[in-house]
Amino acid sequence: MTEKNLPISMAASAIALRGVRLFLSAGRAAAGRAAAGRVDPPKRKTKLPGNKIHQDALEILLRATRFNKQELEALHCMYKKLVLAAQSAAPSTGISQPNKLDGIEQNTFRDVMHNTFDLVTEEVIVDRVWVTWERGNGGEGSIKFDAWVRGLSVMLRGSDDERISHCFAVYDLNNDGFITRDEMFILLKNSLLKQPGDEDPDEGVRDLVELVLKKLDIDKDGKISMEDYREAVQQEPLLLEAFGQCLPSKRHAATFLKTLSNK
């Protein structure tokens, strides 16, 4: 039968794509949940320095994010705890020399994404989420409080356009403004589990790449631009996380936001 005789709607294709990814990544997700566990609480209480946000910084974040004052103060307290926990766990830098961690470092960030927001997804995705958040030292350092709050605001309460921009930035592996066939291949291959007896698992990934490209490449130039991606997702929201989960589920987002209100 020809393609003309078998029309595939955008919604049906998106559902099929997501179904294939979820089915093939089920083993990895289950293993990740079993291994993740919860972060053990600190064995001893540590007095948190400077739990109050400076008034000027507070006013800026109230305007720049979708958190209220109570939520920002709760996030600040959480941020301090995460930084201090990472400092306690880090190897000593020398006799009587304090550890120089002054923000959320990558391992702590990864733990929060996995254990708090249940982003049991491919490591390449979690690492890309880390890369897209603003950090000190030219992007090499840890995440400071301002960037921590702004990033969470997009993930938890971002507008449709903010969430689209976030996901696109995660998937654009070389930051050139396009998602290419090669990048799609890397992202999708990392989400698939090789099955026993598979002689050429890459062939199936290449087929999936072509299917996704057909749905997302609106201008048919062989790669996905931000404009292509935005238009495709606006037509079919299920395509937002076509290459891997990089946003928390509504349930986990709501649970986390509830804890901020209860602080």
pLDDT digits 0-9 by tens, 168-207: 999 999 999 999 999 999 998 877 655 555 566 788 899 9
CA distance 261 to 20: 37
Which residues of the chain form beta strands (DSSP E)?
A: 178-179, 224-225
123 versus 63: which is more confidently predicted? Answer: 63
Identity of the highest mean pLDDT range in 15-19, 25-29, 91-95, 223-227: 223-227
Which two three-digit tokens encode residue 82? Answer: 């995460």
146 neighbors 61 (Cβ within 8 angstroms): yes
Q: What is the mean pLDDT of the chain?
A: 80
Indicate whether 69 pLDDT > 60.
yes
Confidence of residue 85 (pLDDT cuts 50, 70, 90): confident
Which range is least confidently modeled, 73-77, 101-105, 184-188, 193-197? Answer: 193-197
User: What digits encode the pLDDT tens for the residues 20-61?
Assistant: 454 444 444 444 444 444 444 444 443 444 568 999 999 999
pLDDT score, position 90: 72
Confidence of residue 109 (pLDDT cuts 50, 70, 90): very high
CA distance 172 to 129: 11
Dihedral pair phi/psi, residue 224, rounded to 5°: -105, 115
pLDDT score, position 23: 41
pLDDT score, position 3: 43
Helix (H, G, I), strand (E, B) or coil at 143: strand
Indicate whether 106 pLDDT > 60.
yes
pLDDT score, position 88: 82
Give me the helix-helix angle, 201-216 and 10-24, nearest 10°.
150
Give the CATH superfamily of 11-35+49-261.
EF-hand (1.10.238.10)
Which range is least confidently modeled, 12-16, 136-140, 142-146, 193-197? Answer: 12-16
Closest to 73 (Cα-Cα) out of 89, 88, 62, 87? 62
pLDDT score, position 21: 52
Which two three-digit tokens encode residue 225? Answer: 């631009």
pLDDT score, position 44: 40
52 versus 92: which is more confidently predicted? Answer: 52
Residue 99: other Cβ atoms inside 10 A: 15
Mean pLDDT of 157-164: 96
114 neighbors 246 (Cβ within 8 angstroms): no
pLDDT score, position 156: 96
pLDDT score, position 10: 55
| Residue-range domain boundaries for the chain | 11-35+49-261
Mean pLDDT of 143-166: 96
Indicate whether 95 pLDDT > 80.
no
